[in-house]
Amino acid sequence: DIHMTQSPSSLSASVGDRVTITCRASQSITNYLNWYQQKSGEAPKLLIYGAFNVESGVPTRFSGSGSGTDFTLTINSLQPEDFATYFCQQSYSFPITFGQGTRLEIK
């Protein structure tokens, strides 16, 4: 199985900040990496697919990069609604696996 490791596990930031969350795969997944945002009590929301493709309707302040084993989610100019938990997920092979999550909190 491909193990996904996110860092940091939690992060404090202020409105207007730029934040970066990283995800590392235990083996190459080329660019089969997806990012989700989950707010408390809600279902996850797909933000980025294929490492860098922004899902329709997602604000342009969200971007993804990386390939192989190392990936990054960047949020430019944090907005109040961005404080949530973020998960990466690989769709390179079954079983599909998720990172453990990064909780983004208001400083």
Partner 1 sequence: EVPLVESGGGLVKPGGSLRLSCEASEFTFSNSAMNWVRQAPGKGLEWVSYISSGSGYIHYADSLRGRFTISRDNAKKSLYLQMNNLRVEDTAVYYCARVRFYGSGSLGGMVVWGKGTTVTVSS
What is the contact surface with partner 1 in residues (CB under 8 A)? Answer: 1, 32, 34-36, 38, 42-46, 48-50, 53, 55, 87, 89, 91, 94-101
Q: Which residue number, 17 or 72, has a Cβ lying nearer to partner 1?
A: 72
Can you tell me the distance from the alpha carbon of 87 to that of 104, in angstroms, rounded to the nearest whole number?
11
Q: Which residue number, 10 or 77, has a Cβ lying nearer to partner 1?
A: 10
Q: How far, in whole angstroms, is CA 54 from its chain's centroid?
A: 11
Calculate the alpha carbon distances from 85 to 10, 38, 40, 42, 69 in Å: 9, 5, 8, 11, 21
Shortest spacing between CB 12 and partner 1, in angstroms = 20
Question: Which residues, in sequence order, are CB contacts of 75 under 8 Å at separation 6+?
Answer: 18, 19, 20, 61, 62, 82, 104
Shortest spacing between CB 102 and partner 1, in angstroms = 10
Q: Which residue number, 45 or 61, has a Cβ lying nearer to partner 1?
A: 45
Can you tell me the distance from the alpha carbon of 23 to that of 72, in angstroms, rounded to the nearest whole number?
6
Q: Which residue number, 17 or 38, has a Cβ lying nearer to partner 1?
A: 38
Shortest spacing between CB 22 and partner 1, in angstroms = 16
